[in-house]
């Protein structure tokens, strides 16, 4: 029997795969959904896996055959942390927890205004704040604005400067949150404005995502609960 928690994990995994597909499309890369996994045949954008499992007990060999392991950096998001990919040449990169927050759960007050990025200039300002000088702001391209299920949430100071934010990805049954950041105060400063935006934009949808370490602890402080483990694998021992 599939439990409500297992259904949540499946919904979160599917949502995350849809987000990875949207990000890949914005870079001109096509991925494909199969019965067990979403996978892209060529290297996906930085920080995004080449494959995401959608159901438990996916076939490792079939999964590996759908991605390019000849170029450096191939990775797989093992959404149920139930695979052994060492046999096909991968090693564990990190482990994390899927998280869930009920629809319209009260959000703490924020002193920031927010907007959904709707122009290349606003997206660029968001990306530069998200990147905070690491040199990867170009990861978020204007083509991402064409995806109807992607909402780039920008928390703004009174002067209109982007100081916090996240990406919200809407699916049929959940909304996924990723790339949570704040220039000062970390995720504890970001979650209030992000949750206010999500409650207003998607009042009937549960909120999902995944976090680890201190970021996971911050999410729990803001009303999330861990619902299941995931594991990210990197090719090459």
pTM tops 0.75, yes or no: yes
- Residues in the chain with pLDDT values less than 70: 1-2, 237
Q: What is the pLDDT of residues 136-155, one digit of tens each?
A: 999 999 999 999 999 999 99
Predicted local confidence at residue 199, as pLDDT: 94
Predicted local confidence at residue 135, as pLDDT: 97
Contact in structure between 61 and 88 (CB atoms under 8 Å): yes
Cα separation, 85 vs 234, in Å, equals 9
- The percent of residues above 70 in pLDDT, for the chain, comes to 99
Q: What is the pLDDT of residues 201-212, one digit of tens each?
A: 999 999 999 999
Cα separation, 140 vs 144, in Å, equals 7
Per-residue buried b or exposed e for 165-199, using 16+ beta carbons within 10 Å of the residue's own CB: bbbbbbbebbbbbbbbbbbeeebbbbbbbbbbbbb
């Amino acid at each position: 029997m599939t439990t409500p928690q297992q259904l949540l994990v499946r919904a979160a995994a599917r949502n995350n795969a849809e987000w990875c597909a949207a990000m890949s499309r914005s870079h001109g890369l096509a991925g494909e959904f199969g019965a067990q996994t979403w996978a892209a045949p060529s290297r996906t954008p930085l920080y995004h896996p080449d494959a995401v499992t959608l159901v438990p007990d996916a076939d490792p060999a079939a999964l590996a055959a759908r991605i390019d392991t000849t170029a450096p950096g191939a990775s797989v998001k093992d959404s149920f942390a139930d695979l052994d990919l060492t046999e096909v040449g991968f090693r564990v990169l990190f482990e994390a927890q899927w998280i869930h927050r009920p629809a319209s759960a009260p959000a703490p007050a924020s002193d920031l205004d927010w907007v959904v990025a709707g122009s290349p200039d606003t997206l660029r300002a968001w990306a530069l704040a998200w990147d905070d000088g690491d040199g990867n702001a170009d990861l978020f391209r204007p083509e991402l604005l064409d995806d109807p299920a992607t909402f780039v949430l920008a928390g703004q100071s009174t002067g209109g400067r982007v100081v916090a934010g996240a990406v919200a990805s809407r699916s049929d049954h959940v909304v996924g949150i990723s790339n949570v950041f704040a220039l000062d105060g970390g995720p504890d400063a970001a979650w209030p404005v992000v949750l206010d935006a999500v409650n207003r934009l998607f009042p009937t949808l549960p909120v999902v995502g995944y976090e680890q370490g201190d970021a996971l602890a911050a999410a729990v402080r803001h009303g999330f609960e861990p619902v299941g483990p995931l594991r990210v694998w990197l090719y090459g021992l």
